């Protein structure tokens, strides 16, 4: 898998600024696994192949630096993801069968907010939440050298 991106930040003053990012990813491998389920009361198991998985996202955010060099940020992003998928067996009535079907993300945008707190020498605590179809949160400790 490979990812390439860029980001930029423009400070309005010592406290406030605006930033943007653009990132794209592509999976050079194909994936396969077995899936099972029930359709119309009949259980099934079949193989699933996913190939040509890629995504791109772009976002813009505002940032404020508060006392103790703590940074608060909030913004919005746009996202697109696509892959080709097929089943080993044709299950009548399912969305796709043995022919390649294109699968895409359901929503194409969302929002995020977070806080970046400096810790000891080069360490930062980052807490971020995102919303698109669902809410998700992440926490990370980073070291910059």
Gap between the terminal Cα atoms of the chain: 26
User: According to the model, what pLDDT value does residue 45 have?
Assistant: 83
Q: Distance between alpha carbon 23 and the CA centroid of its chain, in Å?
A: 10
Give pLDDT < 50 ranges for the chain.
Answer: none
Q: Judge contact between 54 and 25, C-beta under 8 A.
A: yes
pLDDT of residue 44: 80
Q: Which pLDDT score is estimated for 95?
A: 64
> Which of the four CATH numbers 3.40.1130, 1.10.287, 2.40.160, 2.130.10 does domain 2-143 have?
2.40.160
DSSP 69: G
**For residue 33, what pLDDT is reported?**
86
pTM over 0.85: no
Domain boundaries, the chain: 2-143
- What pLDDT score does 139 carry? 97
């Amino acid at each position: 898998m490979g990812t390439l991106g860029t980001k930029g930040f423009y400070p309005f003053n010592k406290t406030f600024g605006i930033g943007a990012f653009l990132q794209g990813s592509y999976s050079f491998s194909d994936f396969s696994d077995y899936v099972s389920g029930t359709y119309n009361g009949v259980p099934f198991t079949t193989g699933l192949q996913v190939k040509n998985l890629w995504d791109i996202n772009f976002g813009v955010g505002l940032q404020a630096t508060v006392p103790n060099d703590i940074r608060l940020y909030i913004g919005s992003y746009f996202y697109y993801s696509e892959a080709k998928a097929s089943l080993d067996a044709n299950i009548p009535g399912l969305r796709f069968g043995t022919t390649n079907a294109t699968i895409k993300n359901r929503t194409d945008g969302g929002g995020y907010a977070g806080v970046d707190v400096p810790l000891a020498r080069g360490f930062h605590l980052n807490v971020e939440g995102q919303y698109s179809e669902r809410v998700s949160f992440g926490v990370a400790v980073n070291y910059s050298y």
